[in-house]
A and B are shown apart, each in its own frame.
Chain A
């Protein structure tokens, strides 16, 4: 199996997924409407009540603090959501067809995760614009902002392989929806995504300040706002790479096991 064929097959799968999105645009709701709602709701509802101090950049505003959290939360959910889309596919006969074709079998998975990387990119673009409309001022410079985008996309890509692994495990997509809620919500709320961790109880702070979501949020926050408060860039990349190194082979293995039963 040559690398060239693997890339071509993966792009064929991306093309299939993009046609799906074109024909059922509601597949994009979770990366368009929901993030816009989150930006507006959080900034207007919590904005006046939460003092973020210097963590909100030069003008210490909540929207500046919030955007990194919203970006990473959306990208994380979009990534894990890969599992639901894969579980959906697994319920249909199409996977059996793919299994019987002389294609690179893992391209079904790379095609899926690459498509979701594109979904995440779209979500970031939309949120960026909406954020700027309500006062987001990314002063980090072009380079800093591009690195920030790269860091969040890498995190989302890593989580979409976690999605692949869990999607190959569950019986139904509905089951996974429940698991995602139960697992990912605590991770986003017990982090620095929406509030500074300083006010949390000590035991919770230990977790909140060291978990991967916080690392990524802090790195993105520093890079977009041009501040230098956390030095989380390297840890956030290491977390993503580490997750990827475990989830990628695990996902491929679970998928193969599931489809050859």
Chain B
């Protein structure tokens, strides 16, 4: 349903995309995972006809994005981290206007506006102007606006960035519901947990190209599933802790010296925790906290590229800005 091949996009000297391929099957959620400035927003803007790539081809719902942008627009819904709504219009006026601009007949617009407001729990706020909405409400209305034409393909650009935990969980439910209904979703995110939870397939991008792709399970095997994380009491013991954990786990060790936090991928839970505590104790390392958890995006990047995600050169972030 979404197919992009060899997308290149430069803003001056900055290469926002450097040969990106994307592929999402009908009725699945494709998670595009990457840090700020990796090129996620630029990719979404190309696929949603908002900007032209310098090179490469893209098709959405079988329609060429570059040759027939107008036809593509009839098939897609777009929602993003910057909710594109009219602040001075009420919630239902926004949905009504966008519905009519999708060329839906007035009866359909009214019916769907009402249904979406209810489904997104905005009925009470429907008559208020959007500028009075909270961040979570804006996002929900933004998503509702993307769905008013019941498009077969939906693009969500960092749909939960900036939301509080409750808003994030609500958003996740709504997105999961979309795919269950047969909609194809391309979603960008900075959160591995989010991609893990929602996506059928994940593409990890960095510097405008894919550095890993596959199903969630394939990717986890590639980067190591869960991680053992230890927070130690005293900084001088960092080298000892490092030695112990390196022997216990697999792959590179992630160390946050300032926070005295170390983590390493582990293949199974069996006896690992006990061994870790015993060996750290023997080495004279005092432990504040220890446990298993999912890897963070930083650790994924460390595993895949050998350098942490925050080491992106700043000009990439500039490119992403310019793409907006």
A residues sitting closer than 8 Å to B (CB atoms) are 1, 5, 8-9, 12, 15-16, 19-20, 23-24, 92-94, 96-103, 259-261
Contact = CB atoms under 8 A, between A and B. Distances in A.
Nearest to A16: B97
A101 B51 contact: no
A16 B86 contact: yes
Interface in B44-62: 48-52
B50 A19 contact: no
B50 A23 contact: no
A103 B101 contact: yes
Given A96-B50, A97-B78, A97-B98, A102 B85 contact: no
B52 A5 contact: no
Contacts of B82: 93, 96
Contacts of B103: 5, 102-103
A159 to B, nearest CB: 25
A205 B86 CA distance: 48
B188 to A, nearest CB: 15
Contacts of B88: 19-20, 23-24
Contact of A260 (B50, B70, B76, B86): B50
**Which of B82, B88, B102, B103 has most A Cβ within 10 Å?**
B88
Nearest to A22: B88
Nearest to A19: B89
B82 to A, nearest CB: 5
A39 to B, nearest CB: 30
Given A16-B97, A97-B98, A102 B83 contact: no
Contacts of A259: 50
A100 B101 CA distance: 10
Nearest to B93: A19
A100 to B, nearest CB: 5
Contact of B78 (A15, A16, A100): A100
Contact of B101 (A12, A20, A23): A12
B174 interface: no
- SS class, residues of chain A in contact with chain B: helix
A15 B89 CA distance: 11
A94 B84 contact: yes
A12 B85 contact: no
Given A16-B97, A23-B129, A102-B74, A97 B84 contact: yes
A23 B89 CA distance: 9
B86 A102 contact: no
Contact of A98 (B89, B100, B101): B101
Interface size class of B (residues with CB under 8 A): 20 to 34
B312 interface: no
A23 B86 CA distance: 12
Nearest to B71: A102
Contacts of B83: 93
B84 A101 contact: no
16 contacts: A1-B70, A5-B103, A8-B100, A12-B101, A19-B88, A19-B93, A23-B88, A23-B129, A96-B50, A96-B84, A97-B78, A101-B73, A101-B101, A102-B103, A103-B103, A261-B322
Contacts of B186: none
A97 B93 contact: no
Given A96-B78, A100-B78, A102-B102, 11 more contacts: A12-B97, A16-B89, A24-B88, A96-B50, A96-B80, A99-B49, A100-B50, A101-B101, A101-B102, A102-B103, A103-B101
Interface of B: 48-52, 70-71, 73-74, 76, 78, 80, 82-89, 93, 97-98, 100-103, 129, 145, 322
A16 B98 CA distance: 11
Contacts of B100: 8, 12
A99 B101 CA distance: 11
A24 B80 CA distance: 27
Contact of B85 (A19, A20, A97): A97
A228 to B, nearest CB: 48
Nearest to B75: A102
Contacts of B52: 260
A260 B51 contact: yes
Nearest to A98: B101
A23 B131 CA distance: 12
Nearest to A21: B88
Contact of A93 (B51, B85, B97, B322): B85
Nearest to A97: B84
A96 B84 CA distance: 7
